[in-house]
Amino acid sequence: MVVGAGYTGLSAALHLAEAGRDVVVLESAEIGEGASGLNGGQVIAGVKHDPAVLEQLFEPALAVRLIATVGGAPQALYELVRRLQIDCALTTSGWIQPAGSPAALSVLRQRAADWAARGAPVRVLDAEAVERLTGSRIYCGGLFDARGGTVQPLAYARGLARAALRAGARIFARSPALRLEHAGSGYAVTTPGGAVRAEQVIVATNAYSGRLVPALRRSVVAVPSFQVASAPLSVELRRRILPGGQGASDTRRLLRYFRLDASGRFVLGTRGTYAKSPSLHAVQRHYRAVGEIFPELSGIGFDYHWGGLVAMTLDHLPHLHQLAPGLLAGLGYNGRGVAMATAMGRELALRALGAPAAELGFPVTAVKPVPLHAFSSVGVRATIQLLRLADAWTRRRVA
Ligand SMILES: Cc1cc2nc3c(=O)[nH]c(=O)nc-3n(C[C@H](O)[C@H](O)[C@H](O)COP(=O)(O)OP(=O)(O)OC[C@H]3O[C@@H](n4cnc5c(N)ncnc54)[C@H](O)[C@@H]3O)c2cc1C
């Protein structure tokens, strides 16, 4: 059984069903109603730590598997989309990380060299090249990662769900898992409509983890992020802004991520608020950000805004947990879950099918609570203010 119908849960269900297992997915809301249907759609290779750091953090054989998993996650997603014919406006023309300061650019130089030394198609861009690729003049250079791409996030989640159903999985929306208990050699999960028994349970609730497994909820900090989408841009603007169809996420401490969607809307996201509906002030800050990056978009009309929760971990790494025999969880993608959660779902399925830890692409780790977790939303609000000030300070120094 899988709890949660986002990329992690749906990818796990798909891989298990394709391996001939009887799979039930319980989703408290609708398919993709968590971060998987709400995100920026950027398919990004790697995690926050570059390969050389991962080699210091993990023993050699595990570091090799982890680097291959996180570096190969976009390609694995593209292969799934093509094999399963998922209609999700896939683009595979790369990902751009524009640098907001010379200090950030020197980090990107190292990052590019680190990945390139391992044969990955990653290179540094000068300011002119960033302007050519993005249309923005505010960056002093950047990084181009040819492994990246974009998807329409909800279409990708629904496509995974359809493929899992075709492979034999059963998905129950509006069916929250309320209680999880040992039952015989497996588990019983209670929902408002009845109980489901299963030999194995995969918990895939990420930033939306609630009381079902309290330790999981306490192992991540749920950080709000929200996006605005403009009216479709004119053909002339589309020729200048991201003409190659890449997604971009800049190097600010409160990073701004943006892309054009298939209908030519400019979509930009950055840290949001915990409020159900963002204040006018918060929305206007997003509009201002658009105008800062692309002055020609100042004053453009916006049609939509929406937000969701990102699961951050203290070590900036995704986690695959074996909570007990037959009880697995995967979460904590730190804003890179489109490719990473898809890969995690596959690895969770492999584990459930009996793969030893030594064959998995993510380390199997113990669940560690974030200290003072109950106060984390207060801490996140304070941190967002501090980072905002630090970004403004860097901008002033660079200008
Ligand atoms: C605004 C935003 C922008 C982002 N942009 C990007 C991006 O551009 N690129 C990128 O790589 N990543 C991005 N991310 C991160 C990415 O979206 C997530 O890492 C990824 O979607 C996580 O997938 P998931 O399946 O683990 O979790 P989710 O998609 O959040 O799914 C968890 C599901 O569990 C369900 N659930 C919770 N509790 C229960 C329960 N008790 N019973 C049943 N169901 C339950 C929830 O309803 C939810 O549907 C972004 C995230 C946000 C919020």
Phi-psi region of 241 (alpha: psi -120 to 50; beta: other; left: phi over 0): beta
Q: What is the pTM of this model?
A: 0.95
Q: Which atom of ligand 1 is nearest to the CA of 212?
A: 41
Tokens of 284: 């206007």
Q: Does domain 2-39+154-220+314-368 have CATH number 3.90.15.10?
A: no
- Which pair of tokens denotes residue 54? 């991962």
CB of 350 closer than 8 Å to CB of 360:
yes
pLDDT for the residue numbered 275: 73
Query: What is the residue with the minimal CA distance to atom 41 of ligand 1?
Result: 177
Q: For position 378, what pLDDT does the model report?
A: 65
CA distances from residue 277 to 274, 312, 341 in whole angstroms, order as listed = 8, 22, 26
Q: Which residues, 6+ apart, have CB-to-CB distance to 66 below 8 Å?
A: 54, 58, 361, 362, 363
341 pocket-lining for ligand 1 (C-beta < 6 Å)? yes
Ligand 1, residue 157: give the atom nearest the CA. 29
What per-residue confidence (pLDDT) applies to 44? 98
Helix (H/G/I), strand (E/B), else coil: 372: coil
Cβ of 95 closer than 6 Å to ligand 1, yes or no, is no
Residue 335 near residue 310, CB atoms below 8 Å: yes
Q: Which protein residue's CA is at the shortest distance from atom 12 of ligand 1?
A: 336
Q: What was the pLDDT predicted at 394?
A: 63
**C-beta of 8 in contact with ligand 1 (< 6 A):** yes
- Tens-level pLDDT at each residue, the chain (399 residues): 999 999 999 999 999 999 999 999 999 999 999 999 999 999 999 999 999 999 999 999 999 999 999 999 999 999 999 999 999 999 999 999 999 999 999 999 999 999 999 999 999 999 999 999 999 999 999 999 999 999 999 999 999 999 999 999 999 999 999 999 999 999 999 999 999 999 999 999 999 999 999 999 999 999 999 999 999 999 999 999 999 999 999 999 789 999 999 999 999 998 777 777 778 888 888 999 999 999 999 989 999 999 999 999 999 999 999 999 999 999 999 999 999 999 999 999 999 999 999 999 999 998 988 776 666 666 666 666 656 666 666 666 555
4 Cβ inside 6 Å of ligand 1: yes
Q: DSSP character for 174?
A: S
Task: Give the pair of three-digit tokens for residue 41.
Answer: 């759609």
What letters, b where the CB count within 10 A reaches 16 and e where it falls short, cover 234-257?
eeebbebbbeebbbbbbbbbbbbb
Q: What does the pLDDT read at residue 399?
A: 55
Distance 89 CA to ligand 1 centre (A): 19
Whether the CB of 332 sits within 6 Å of ligand 1: no
Fold annotation for 221-312+379-399: D-Amino Acid Oxidase; Chain A, domain 2 (3.30.9)
| Spatial distance between the Cα atoms of 361 and 54, rounded to a whole number of angstroms | 13
Helix/strand/coil for 90: coil
Q: Is the CB of residue 337 below 6 angstroms from any atom belonging to ligand 1?
A: yes
Domain ranges of the chain: 2-39+154-220+314-368, 95-146, 221-312+379-399
Task: Give the atom of ligand 1 at the shortest distance from the alpha carbon of 211.
Answer: 41
